[in-house]
Amino acid sequence: MKKVLLMFAVLMATMACTKKNDAVPAQEAEENSTVTETEEQRPAISEEERTANMQEVQAYLKECGAFFIATADGDQPRVRPFGAVAEFEGKLYLMTANTKDVYKQIERDPKIEISGMTPDGRWIRLTAKLVRDPRVEARRAMLDANPDLRKMYSEDDGVMEALYLVGASAAICSFTEEPKLIRF
């Protein structure tokens, strides 16, 4: 029951964030026109700002505990909980198994959205693309940062996949403050 209530709260919070701030820039372009913002069109940010923003999002996702990733399965959205996140070589990584439907959906369409809520009632709405990193070093870094995953995976099992976010835009929202926009 707690999980259902949490999912409902995340859904309601995401809707509230959308009403307060219709979308972060990349989402707004996608939702309001047929032209989406490309990496070249995004205003430049310094490497220091990009790194700080990525680390802020990573810390936020860890504070959420579980966060939800939405993928596309044809014309049907699919949402499922994730909980593992890690920084490796200046990129933010997630992981999954290549035997799961979520991985197949990401292979077909790498665009994802993430939403999660912290215990104090703030939530995140993040849009990005996921890119597979085939290197064992990336999988090892993911497992080192999330040692509980070693119960299910190993870096050389042929099943675990490390995926990093590119073109990320996020909004951290609450019912009492304006959304904080972040990109990296």
Domains in the chain, start-ordered, CATH in brackets?
2-183 (2.30.110.10)
Q: Is the pLDDT of residue 25 over 80?
A: no
Q: What is the pLDDT of residues 44-71, one digit of tens each?
A: 899 999 999 999 999 999 999 999 999 9
Give dist(CA 146, CA 96) in Å, integer. Answer: 12
Share of the chain above pLDDT 70, in %: 77
Which one, of 80, 18, 90, lies nearest residue 49 by Cα?
A: 90
Helices in the chain by DSSP H: which ranges? 2-20, 25-32, 47-64, 101-108, 136-145
Q: Is the pLDDT of residue 1 over 60?
A: no
Query: Distances in Å between the alpha carbon of 164 and those of 16, 22, 106, 110?
Result: 28, 26, 12, 11
Q: Which position has the token pair 């707690």? A: 2
Residue of 98 and 38 predicted with greater confidence: 98
Q: Is the pLDDT of residue 155 over 70?
A: yes
pTM, 2 dp: 0.78
Mean pLDDT rounded to a whole number for the chain: 85
Q: What is the pLDDT of residues 104-115, one digit of tens each?
A: 999 999 999 999
Greatest Cα pair distance in the chain? 46
